[in-house]
């Protein structure tokens, strides 16, 4: 079922490509159904009747729900779950016909299997999944259907590859940011040989943004692995689909096409003796951010506009004190007003600081779990009498009774996951990229957008807290310094922070500025990419620092070798390269 073109002339112009694709299609799509052999049912069972009922009504259900449907029929062991969607550019008629045909084929070709998937047999395709267990919101990437074009790319592959990857990555990101009703993106871009490339990406809309993006990257990487050099093709997984070609294959001419992305940064083999250029601007523009920040502050009842920006001259009640920077995916920046609590309220919340509520203990005191009357869980830091934390640091964190109340971060800190062989598997590339971009956005706020310019001075993995959704929160401002409006740097005889994350000029001479935090961010960024602590190779590889180890692989044009092995192939190559490059810019000796 090919789309009907608006006129015969455009169709004739692209007829060879269309015919080649359609000639190839029946051969491949004869196996477009996959029957899972996990469990079976008998022909006379209730499951048979339920499956027939849910599949026969599916075309109407999908049509009446805007192109996506998830439901179930039956009870207990005989329940049949179904999930289905049509391609985003399909007409209602094409969608209905594809689903009707695909549902019939499933019942014939998977006669007694309790789970199966199909992509239909037409163009545009449709996806039907059924199973004996819930599927909603669950990413499924097996099996994979791959349909490469029979022709090869005629232009220079070295020119084509970065354009193709940059374009397809943009589409994957855009599709993932869709709604719970449609996660679909289509676009076109002009190639150096003046041909136009068309592509689309789509996920099952019940997926989260991260799962959708990850699924589409799997499709893109699978295509590159199987079909690199071909001039078009299709990759389908149960939860997502990807297609591209050199002619406009979209069924609808009215869909919104994304504009061409900016050209990718050229990655060439670097001069072994030259570090990255120090004058490059390391800003949020590098990341093409899709996330912004929600910033939370402690504040008392009064505020003095004329308060000087010196901690030794201002009692904390006269100004806002940053406690942590919370990064989320909302499209706005907020300054949230934190509450102050009476000591009696804190005692009640923590059961009088009961030992059973203690979460941990450090040099500055103990941290307790608590629960407020409204049900919110909190963490309370209580400064011990013998604490080595000075009044200056505590003023940076606390206003009342030497107690500090935080929102409880159930996922602890970034290092808890990142440096553990088992837990690090939960940090796939989409999550790591969100964490990287979130930290960078938070730093931008602290350095540029905040009313007070704040230098953190101790940015490291253990000071990045993670909420329920693995969103990063910059925490622990005990070492922070606040700069005046025109102040750009400062010096101290007391070196505070963590070696390995300190910039050389700070560690050796006590000079610090915004660039000190930028250096720390660069080290942290490389840690997130490599999955190793910054001193890992010092201990195991001849005394080599992480930045030097990574730079050597970049210089030798093998940057992929530094990636954390747990990432597998589920990552965006262009994003990884960009992040590695930014990491080098941040730790460059010329950055000051």
381 labeled binding residue:
yes
The rounded distance, in Å, linking the Cα atoms of 50 and 507 is 69
pTM: 0.50
Give the model's pLDDT for residue 487: 66
Q: Which of 458, 476, 517, 564 is catalytic?
A: 458
- For the stretch 90-129, pLDDT in tens is 999 999 999 999 999 999 999 999 999 999 987 899 999 9
Q: Lowest-pLDDT range, 28-37, 326-335, 337-346, 509-518?
A: 326-335
Same fold, 31-136 and 146-258: yes
Residue 411 burial by Cβ neighbours in a 10 Å radius (0-12, 13-18, 19+): middle
- For the stretch 482-504, pLDDT in tens is 776 566 677 776 776 777 888 77
Residue 371 burial by Cβ neighbours in a 10 Å radius (0-12, 13-18, 19+): middle
Give the model's pLDDT for residue 71: 95
Give the model's pLDDT for residue 442: 86
Class level of CATH domain 31-136? alpha beta
Per-residue CA distances from 111 to 38, 45, 118, 415, 435 (Å): 14, 12, 14, 49, 46
* Neighbouring residues of 361: CB distance < 8 A, sequence distance ≥ 6: 367
Bridge partners of 297, per DSSP, are 322, 337
Q: Could you tell me how many residues make up the chain?
A: 592
CATH number of 284-591: 1.10.510.10
What's the mean pLDDT when you consider all of the chain? 75
Q: Of all residues in the chain, what percent carry a pLDDT higher than 90?
A: 33
Domain 146-258 indexed as CATH 3.30.430.20: yes
Is position 458 annotated as part of the catalytic site?
yes
The rounded distance, in Å, linking the Cα atoms of 428 and 234 is 24
- For the stretch 196-217, pLDDT in tens is 999 999 999 999 888 898 899 8
Give the model's pLDDT for residue 298: 26
pLDDT band at 24 (very low <50, low <70, confident <90, very high): very low
Give the model's pLDDT for residue 341: 64
The rounded distance, in Å, linking the Cα atoms of 592 and 588 is 8
Give the model's pLDDT for residue 200: 96
Bridge partners of 466, per DSSP, are 472
* Neighbouring residues of 113: CB distance < 8 A, sequence distance ≥ 6: 35, 36, 37, 39, 40, 41
Q: Which of 321-325, 365-369, 459-463 has the highest mean pLDDT?
A: 459-463
Nearest-CA neighbor of 471 among 448, 437, 445? 437
Peptide bond into 124 cis (omega under 30): yes
DSSP letters, 29-62, are HTT-EEEEEEEE--TTSHHHHHHHHHHHTHHHHH
Per-residue CA distances from 78 to 40, 74, 124, 134, 564 (Å): 11, 6, 32, 13, 43
Give the model's pLDDT for residue 187: 92
Give the model's pLDDT for residue 455: 82
* Token pair belonging to 169: 């990555």
* Residues 28 and 147 sit within 8 Å (Cβ to Cβ): yes
- For the stretch 360-416, pLDDT in tens is 776 567 788 888 887 777 778 776 655 544 545 545 544 333 445 556 677 788 998
Looking up tokens 């299609």 gives: 25
Give the model's pLDDT for residue 340: 59
Please report, for the chain, the start and end positions of each structural domain, with discontinuous segments joined by +.
31-136, 146-258, 284-591
Mean pLDDT, residues 157-164: 89
- For the stretch 527-579, pLDDT in tens is 999 999 888 776 554 557 888 888 888 888 888 889 999 998 778 888 898 89
* Token pair belonging to 398: 């606390």
Nearest-CA neighbor of 222 among 168, 156, 263, 300? 168
Mean pLDDT, residues 258-286: 40
Rg (CA), the chain: 28
């Amino acid at each position: 079922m090919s789309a009907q073109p608006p006129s015969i002339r455009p169709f004739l112009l692209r007829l060879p490509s269309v015919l080649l694709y359609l000639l190839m299609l029946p051969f491949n799509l004869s196996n477009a159904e996959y029957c899972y052999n996990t469990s079976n049912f008998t022909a006379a069972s209730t499951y048979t009747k339920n499956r027939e009922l849910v599949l026969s009504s599916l075309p109407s259900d999908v049509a009446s729900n805007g192109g996506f449907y998830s439901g179930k029929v039956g009870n207990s062991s005989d329940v049949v779950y179904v999930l289905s969607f049509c391609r985003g550019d399909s007409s209602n008629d094409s969608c209905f016909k594809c689903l009707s045909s695909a549902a019939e084929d499933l019942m014939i070709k998977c006669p007694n299997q309790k789970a199966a998937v199909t992509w239909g047999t037409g163009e545009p395709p449709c996806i039907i999944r059924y199973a004996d267990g819930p599927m909603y919101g669950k990413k499924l990437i097996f099996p994979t259907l791959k349909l490469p074009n029979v022709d090869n790319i005629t232009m220079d592959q070295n020119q084509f590859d970065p354009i193709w990857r940059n374009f397809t990555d943009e589409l994957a990101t855009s599709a993932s940011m869709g709604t719970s009703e449609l996660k679909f993106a289509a676009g076109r871009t002009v190639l150096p040989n003046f041909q136009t490339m068309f592509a689309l990406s789509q996920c099952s809309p019940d997926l989260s943004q991260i799962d959708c993006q990850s699924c589409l990257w799997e499709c893109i990487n699978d295509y590159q692995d199987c079909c690199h050099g071909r001039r078009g093709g299709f990759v389908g997984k149960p939860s997502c689909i990807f297609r591209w070609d050199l002619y406009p294959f979209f069924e609808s001419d009215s869909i919104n096409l994304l504009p061409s992305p900016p050209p990718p940064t050229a990655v060439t083999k670097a001069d072994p003796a030259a570090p990255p250029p120090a004058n490059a601007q390391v800003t949020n523009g590098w990341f093409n951010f899709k996330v912004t920040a929600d910033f939370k502050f402690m504040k008392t009842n009064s505020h003095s506009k004329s308060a000087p920006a010196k901690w030794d001259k201002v009692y904390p009640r006269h100004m806002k004190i940053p406690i942590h920077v919370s990064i989320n995916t909302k499209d706005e920046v907020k300054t949230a007003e934190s509450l102050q609590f009476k000591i009696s309220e804190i005692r009640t919340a923590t059961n009088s600081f009961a030992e059973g509520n203690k979460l941990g203990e450090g040099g500055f005191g103990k941290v307790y779990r608590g629960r407020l009357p409204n049900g919110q869980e909190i963490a309370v830091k209580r400064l011990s009498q013998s604490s080595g934390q000075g009044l200056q640091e505590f003023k940076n964190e606390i206003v009342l009774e030497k107690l500090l109340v935080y929102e409880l971060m159930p996922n602890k800190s970034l290092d808890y996951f990142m440096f553990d062989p088992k837990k690090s598997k939960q940090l796939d590339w989409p999550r790591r990229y969100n964490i990287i971009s979130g930290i960078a956005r938070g730093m931008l706020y602290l350095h540029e957008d905040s009313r007070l310019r704040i230098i953190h001075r101790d940015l490291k993995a253990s000071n990045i807290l993670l909420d329920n959704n693995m969103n990063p929160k910059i925490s622990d401002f005990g070492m922070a310094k606040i700069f005046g409006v025109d102040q750009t740097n400062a010096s101290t005889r007391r070196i505070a922070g963590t070696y390995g994350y300190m910039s050389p000029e700070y560690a050796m001479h006590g000079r610090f500025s915004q660039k000190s935090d930028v250096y720390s961010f660069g080290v942290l960024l490389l840690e997130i990419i490599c999955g190793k602590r910054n001193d890992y190779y010092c201990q195991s590889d001849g005394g080599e620092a992480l930045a030097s180890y990574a730079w050597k692989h970049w210089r030798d044009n093998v940057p992929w070798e530094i990636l954390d092995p747990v990432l597998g192939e589920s990552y965006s190559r262009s994003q990884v390269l960009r992040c590695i490059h930014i990491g080098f810019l941040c730790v460059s000796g010329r950055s000051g």
